[in-house]
Amino acid sequence: MNFAFTEQQNAIRESVARFSADVLAPGYRQRDRDGRIERSTIAQLGEMGLLGGELPEEYGGSGLDCVTAGIIIEEISRGDFNVGYIPLLASLNGQIIARYAAPDLAREWLGEITAGRKVVCIALTEPHGGSDAASLRLKAERKGDVYVLNGEKTSISMADQADVAVVFARTGTTEERASGISAFLVPMNLKGITTTRFDDAGERAIGRGSIFFDNVEVPASHRLGDEGKGFRQVMQGFDYSRALIGLQCLALAQQSLDETWQWLTERQAFGQNLSAFQGLTHPLAELQTYVHAARLQCYYSLWLKDSGLPHNAEAAMNKWWAPKLAFDVVKQCLLAHGHTGYGEDLPFAQRLRDVLGLQIGDGTAQIMKNIIARELTPR
């Protein structure tokens, strides 16, 4: 059993870590204020091969393994948690598009996405559904060589920044639930598409909002997978993204711990460094242990995927545990910094707001635990 990264993986980690610390970290707070991830930064990610690197070379990827994709997202997220969502979207949607889109369509869009010239989002959630993802009402009606989409998606990350979206819509009846859902690759500049943005507590650089479809004509050639089978086919990709989300959250947690351990050696009280007080160090030592274990769990899930082995339960474990753990870690680090940690001069308050959103988005803890229980219950 070998827990070490390869020489190539370590070289990639060091390169991304330098970029993240030097370029991304200084702009973390400003991106939050601007409510945008600047396209120049996304283009840099593309130029460095950090978007969809695990995709085949014919689609703009580098043929990397999924463990390496996790390394990239982890290091990017240490500098800017929100920018880490861009390669995550490229990986999740990239694998869906590469597998289920017509080859010419896949090459057209994936080349732009991996180069950082276009941004992709995923549009699944609807206002009435939430966690009941199979209860979709957005209608896709076949009319000749197009599908006409009508309805609304909500709580969509990057809704007003994305150039293209993987959209789930109902091509069958509501009684069919998952069996009547198809997936489409929808350019966001099509006539009849409008977006809104919510005023959220965190992840403002990413942004979350609604997408409205008013008689939007999508070419039939843009359907992903078989009609009526899109939900079951495409949803498998979420097992991959859940491990990546785990690393995104844990990177923020580890960065906060690193800064706090350093702080305890520099700050004095009662004539001693704060590191001498077990009331401060023991909670951090406990959380450091949990972060280490959760990180190994995430990479184990990615290793299972690379090995072609089932990882549904493991992926769900990552998704419920890592966001909660990261929130708890950042909270404790904020408290360890005292009144200065509570202020906006340090990044802890923003990190707390940002990571909280992933206890809701991309699958709640309750849904993840349902998946784990379902997978582990003998059939």
Place of tokens 């995927």: 305
Same domain, 218 and 272: no
Residue 165 CB coordination number (10 Å): 25
Residues 6+ away with beta carbon under 8 Å from 228: 171, 172, 176, 179, 180, 181, 182
Give residue-wise pLDDT tens across range 197-207. Answer: 999 999 999 99
Sign of CA dihedral 44, 47, 53, 56: positive
Sign of CA dihedral 356, 360, 362, 364: positive
Q: For 124-128, 158-162, 194-198, which range has the lowest pLDDT when averaged over its residues?
A: 124-128
User: Domain total for the chain?
Assistant: 3
Asked whether residue 123 carries a pLDDT value surpassing 80, the answer given is yes
Same domain, 330 and 369: yes
pLDDT at 133: 66
Cα–Cα dist 338/332, whole Å: 10
Same domain, 138 and 85: no
Cα–Cα dist 145/77, whole Å: 42
Q: Is residue 78 part of a domain?
A: yes
> pLDDT confidence of 236, banded at 50, 70, 90?
confident
Q: Is residue 213 part of a domain?
A: yes
pLDDT at 182: 93
The two structure tokens encoding residue 368: 């993840």
Residues 6+ away with beta carbon under 8 Å from 249: 77, 81, 322, 323, 325, 326, 355, 358
Cα–Cα dist 232/244, whole Å: 21
Same domain, 175 and 254: no
Same domain, 15 and 71: yes
Q: What's 21's domain CATH number?
A: 1.10.540.10
Average pLDDT over residues 211-238: 89
Q: Is residue 1 part of a domain?
A: no
The two structure tokens encoding residue 370: 């349902």
> pLDDT confidence of 114, banded at 50, 70, 90?
very high
SS3 154: strand
Same domain, 298 and 324: yes
Question: Which of 169, 194, 228 is the C-terminal boundary of a domain?
Answer: 228
Q: For 155-169, 230-244, 270-284, which range has the lowest pLDDT when averaged over its residues?
A: 230-244
pLDDT at 174: 66
How many helices (H) and strands (E) the chain has is answered by 13, 10
Percent of the chain with pLDDT over 90: 85
Asked whether residue 13 carries a pLDDT value surpassing 90, the answer given is yes
pTM of the model: 0.94
Same domain, 139 and 178: yes
Question: Which of 67, 88, 118 is the C-terminal boundary of a domain?
Answer: 118
Same domain, 366 and 252: yes
Residues 6+ away with beta carbon under 8 Å from 193: 186, 211, 212, 213, 214, 216
pLDDT at 235: 74
Give residue-wise pLDDT tens across range 36-64. Answer: 999 999 999 999 999 999 999 999 998 89
Q: What's 143's domain CATH number?
A: 2.40.110.10
Give residue-wise pLDDT tens across range 325-374. Answer: 999 999 999 999 999 999 999 999 999 999 999 999 888 999 999 999 99
> Looking at residue 346, what DSSP letter applies?
S
Same domain, 103 and 170: no
pLDDT at 175: 65
Q: What's 279's domain CATH number?
A: 1.20.140.10
Asked whether residue 118 carries a pLDDT value surpassing 70, the answer given is yes
pLDDT at 361: 87
Q: Determine the angle formed by the axes of helices 278-306 and 66-79, rounding to 10 degrees.
A: 150
Q: By residue range, what is the domain housing residue 86?
A: 7-118
pLDDT at 40: 97
Same domain, 203 and 299: no
Asked whether residue 179 carries a pLDDT value surpassing 80, the answer given is no
Q: Is residue 335 part of a domain?
A: yes
Residue 363 CB coordination number (10 Å): 23
Same domain, 61 and 195: no
Give residue-wise pLDDT tens across range 265-324. Answer: 998 888 898 888 899 999 999 999 999 999 999 999 999 999 999 999 999 999 999 999
Please answer whether residues 153 and 210 qualify as being in contact, where contact means their C-beta atoms are separated by less than 8 angstroms.
Answer: yes
Cα–Cα dist 254/247, whole Å: 10
Residues 6+ away with beta carbon under 8 Å from 302: 65, 66, 67, 69, 70, 240, 243, 244
pLDDT at 271: 87
SS3 132: coil
Q: Closest Cα to residue 246, out of 159, 368, 372, 353?
A: 368
> pLDDT confidence of 153, banded at 50, 70, 90?
very high
Average pLDDT over residues 202-230: 95
Mean pLDDT of the chain: 94
Q: Is residue 93 part of a domain?
A: yes
Q: Is residue 165 part of a domain?
A: yes
Question: Which of 176, 197, 228 is the C-terminal boundary of a domain?
Answer: 228
Same domain, 99 and 140: no
